[in-house]
Structure 1
Amino acid sequence: MIVRIMGEGQVRLDDSRLTELNKLDEELTAELEGGDEAGFRRTLTALLDAVRALGEPLPADSLEPSDLILPSPEATLDEVREMLAEDGLLPG
């Protein structure tokens, strides 16, 4: 799967890694719902760091269609709330 981190670029991530990332997605969703700014910032950073570590960056000039779009590290609570699906940022 191709994951885009807004403002950074794309990463190729094996679908099997979603299970690992869903725990962070669930934490992030709970922090958003509770308005926990510090927890949100910490978990968003951890989620993006995990995607970067587990995935393989695509070349900057690559224009693959993204299967998943994640917010930038600077995104606000409100911006990420607008991006959320029923089950969080990640499918599953």
Structure 2
Amino acid sequence: MIMRVLGEGQFEVAEKDLDRLNQLDDDLLQAVEADDEEAFKAALGSLLAAVREVGTPVPADSLEPSDLILPDAEASLDQVRELLRAEGDGLIPGIPE
């Protein structure tokens, strides 16, 4: 799966890492729903750090389409809330059973 982090670039993430990313995405969703700015910043930072850790950067000159787009680390709680409304159940889709 190709994930784009706005302002940073694309990362190729293996399916085996999606469970971990989904848990971090759930933490982000809970922080947004609680309107907890401190928890939101921590959760967003953790999610983006994990994408960078498990993902392989896609070369900047590659024309690969992104499967999903994540906000940058400076995104506001309101901006992410809007993204979550558009996406539904979080920023990262679950793996079909």
TM-score tier (shorter): over 0.9
After superposition, what is the alpha-carbon deviation per residue over 1:12-54, rounded to whole angstroms, capped at 9, x for unaligned? 1112211111111111001001110000001100000000000
Corresponding residue number in structure 1 for 2:5: 5
With the length of structure 2 as denominator, give the TM-score of the two structures.
0.91
Question: Matched residues in 2 for 1:71 and 1:31: separation?
Answer: 15
**After TM superposition, what 4+ stretches of structure 1 lie above 4 angstroms from structure 2?**
none
* Residue 86 in structure 1 maps to residue 88 in structure 2: yes
Q: Report sequence identity in percent.
A: 55
Structure 2: where are the runs of 5+ without partners? none
Count of paired positions: 92
Aligned-pair Cα RMSD in Å: 0.8
Question: Matched residues in 2 for 1:76 and 1:10: separation?
Answer: 21
With the length of structure 1 as denominator, give the TM-score of the two structures.
0.96
5 Å matches for 1:67-78?
A: 67-78=67-78
Structure 1: where are the runs of 5+ without partners? none
